[in-house]
Chains A and B, each alone.
Chain A
Amino acid sequence: MKKMKLVMVGNGMAGVRTIEELIKIAPDLYDICVFGAEPYANYNRILLSPVLAGEMTVKEIMLNDVEWYQQQGIELHLNKKVVHIDRVNRKVLTEDGMEQVYDRLLLATGSNPVVLPIPGKDLPGVITYRDIYDTHAMIEAAKQYRHAVVIGGGLLGLEAANGLNLRGMAVTVVHLGDWLMERQLDKVAADMLKSSLEKKGLSFLLNKQTTVINAGPDGRVESIGFSDGQTIPADLVVMAVGVRPNEELAKASGIHCLRGVVVSDTMQSFDPKIYAVGECVSHRGVAYGLVAPLFEMSKVCANHLAQLGIGRYEGSVTSTKLKVTGVDLFSAGHFQSDADTEEIVLHDAAGGVYKKIVLKDDKIVGSVMVGDTSDGAWYFQMLREKQNVAEIRDHLLFGQSHLGNTGHQGQSRAAEMADSMEVCGCNGVCKGVIVKAIKEKGLFSLDEVRKHTKASSSCGSCTGLVEQILASTVGGAYAAQPNRNKPLCGCTDHTHEETRQVIRSEHLLSISAVMDFMKWKTPNGCASCRPALNYYLLSTWPHEALDDPQSRFINERAHANIQKDGTYSVVPRMFGGVTTANDLRRIADVVDKYQIPTVKVTGGQRIDLLGVKKADLPKVWADLAMPSGHAYAKALRTVKTCVGSEWCRFGVQDSTQMGIQLERTFAKMYAPHKVKLAVSGCPRNCAESGIKDVGVIGVDSGWEIYVAGNGGIKTEVAQFFCKVKTAFEVLEYAGAFLQVYREEARYLDRTVHWVARVGLDYVKKRVVEDEESRKALYGRLLYAIQDEKDPWAERTLGLSRHEFEPLSVLD
Chain B
Amino acid sequence: MDVTPMSRWIKVGTLEQIPRLGARVVQTRHGPIAVFRTADDAVFALLDQCPHKGGPLSQGIVFGHHVACPLHNWSIHLKDGQAEAPDEGCAKRFQVKQDQEQIFLDIGD
Chain A residues within 8 Å of B, Cβ to Cβ: 451-452, 457-458, 522-527, 530-531, 549-551, 553-554, 557-558, 562, 564-566, 802, 806-811
Contacts and interface: CB of A to CB of B under 8 A. Distances in A.
Contacts of A524: 21, 39, 63-64
B28 to A, nearest CB: 5
Nearest to B84: A451
A800 to B, nearest CB: 9
B64 A522 contact: yes
Q: Which of B21, B53, B55 counts the most A-chain CB atoms under 10 A from its CB? A: B21
B25 interface: yes
Contacts of A557: 59
Nearest to A809: B27
B71 A802 contact: no
Contacts, number: 89
B60 interface: yes
Contacts of A523: 39, 64
Q: Which 5 pairs of residues, A with B, have the shortest CB-CB distance?
A: A527-B68, A807-B24, A554-B59, A527-B61, A550-B21
Given A523-B39, A526-B68, A564-B71, A808 B12 contact: yes
A565 B50 CA distance: 11
Nearest to A491: B63
A101 B21 CA distance: 45
Nearest to A548: B21
Contact of B17 (A530, A565, A802, A811): A802
Contacts of A550: 19-22, 61-62
Nearest to A550: B21
A558 B60 CA distance: 11
Contacts of B56: 562, 566
B27 A806 contact: yes
Contacts of B64: 522-524, 526
B106 to A, nearest CB: 11
Given A457-B73, A553-B70, 7 more contacts: A451-B86, A527-B61, A549-B19, A566-B54, A802-B19, A807-B24, A807-B26
A531 B17 CA distance: 23
Contacts of B63: 522, 524-527, 530
A523 B13 CA distance: 26
Contacts of B53: 564
Nearest to A527: B68
Contacts of A457: 73
Contacts of B91: none
Nearest to B11: A808
Interface in B67-86: 68, 70-73, 75, 86
A71 to B, nearest CB: 14
Given A549-B19, A810-B12, A554 B24 contact: no
B35 A807 contact: yes
B90 interface: no
Nearest to A563: B71
Contacts of B59: 554, 557-558, 562, 566
Nearest to B28: A810
Nearest to B49: A566
B74 to A, nearest CB: 10
Nearest to B62: A550
Contact of A807 (B17, B61, B66, B68): B17
Nearest to A811: B29
A452 B68 contact: no
B70 A810 contact: no
15 contacts: A522-B64, A524-B64, A526-B61, A527-B61, A551-B21, A551-B61, A554-B59, A558-B59, A564-B71, A565-B54, A566-B56, A802-B17, A810-B26, A810-B28, A810-B29
Contacts of A522: 63-64
A180 B20 CA distance: 63
Contacts of A527: 60-61, 63, 68, 73, 75
Contacts of A566: 54-56, 59
A31 B10 CA distance: 46
Q: Which of A451, A458, A566 counts the most B-chain CB atoms under 10 A from its CB? A: A566
A554 B70 contact: yes
Q: Which of B13, B18, B22, B70 counts the most A-chain CB atoms under 10 A from its CB? A: B70
B70 A809 contact: no
Q: Which of A523, A527, A564 counts the most B-chain CB atoms under 10 A from its CB? A: A527
A565 B54 CA distance: 8
Interface in B1-45: 10, 12-13, 17-22, 24-29, 32, 35, 39
A451 to B, nearest CB: 6
Contacts of A458: 72
B60 to A, nearest CB: 7
Nearest to B63: A526
A452 B107 contact: no
B20 to A, nearest CB: 7
A565 B86 CA distance: 24
Contacts of B25: 806-807
Nearest to A808: B12
B24 A806 contact: yes
Contact of B60 (A554, A802, A807): A554
B17 to A, nearest CB: 6
Contact of A531 (B10, B27, B61, B71): B61
B43 to A, nearest CB: 11
Nearest to B61: A527
A811 B28 CA distance: 7
Contacts of B39: 523-524
Contacts of B60: 527, 554
A39 B36 CA distance: 49
A799 to B, nearest CB: 13
Contacts of B12: 807-808, 810
Nearest to B66: A526
A551 B39 CA distance: 12
Contact of B13 (A558, A808, A811): A808
A530 B61 contact: yes
A553 B63 CA distance: 13
Contacts of B18: 802, 807
Q: Which of B18, B24, B32, B105 counts the most A-chain CB atoms under 10 A from its CB? A: B24
Contacts of A551: 21, 61
Contacts of A809: 26-27
A152 B61 CA distance: 56
A6 to B, nearest CB: 26
A153 B22 CA distance: 61
Contact of B107 (A531, A564, A806, A810): A810
B61 A562 contact: no
A524 to B, nearest CB: 5
Contacts of A553: 61, 70
